[in-house]
Amino acid sequence: MSPVADERDRIRAAMDRILRGAPERSNGALTVVALAVEAGVPRNALTQRHTDLKNEFYEKVRARGGTPDSDQRLRKQVRRLE
């Protein structure tokens, strides 16, 4: 299996785990950073090589009803602190 194909498989598996609420390596946040950590790939793998998977992930997040309350609260707190 090529490195890129393996990367795609790991990203899809990580996407599944995060969306199921069963992350193994990340904090399970619905972000590209958490997805990259969960998949064991650099963030730029999602932002440059596999943008289709990044977009698919965000589409699935939106289909679930958007960002979880916990993420919204944290983002609001970060904005306030900045």
| pLDDT of res. 67 | 66
Distant-in-sequence, close-in-space partners of 42: CB < 8 Å, separation ≥ 6: 36
Q: Which of 30, 36, 33 is nearest to 66 (CA)?
A: 30
For residue range 46-72, what is the model confidence (pLDDT) as tens digits?
999 999 999 999 899 888 876 666 667
**Mean pLDDT of the region 27-50:** 94
Q: How far apart are CA 18 and CA 43, in angstroms?
A: 16
**Distance in angstroms (rounded) separating the CA atoms of residues 36 and 49:** 12
Residue 73 pLDDT more than 90? Answer: no
Number of structural domains in the chain = 1
Write down the pLDDT at residue 69.
60
Q: What is the pLDDT of residue 57?
A: 94
Residues 6+ apart with CB under 8 A from 16: none
Which residues are within 8 A (CB) of 76 and not within 5 positions of it... i.e. 6 or more apart? none
Query: What integer is the mean pLDDT of 16-43?
Result: 94
Residue range of the domain that includes 48: 3-81
pLDDT value at position 15? Answer: 97
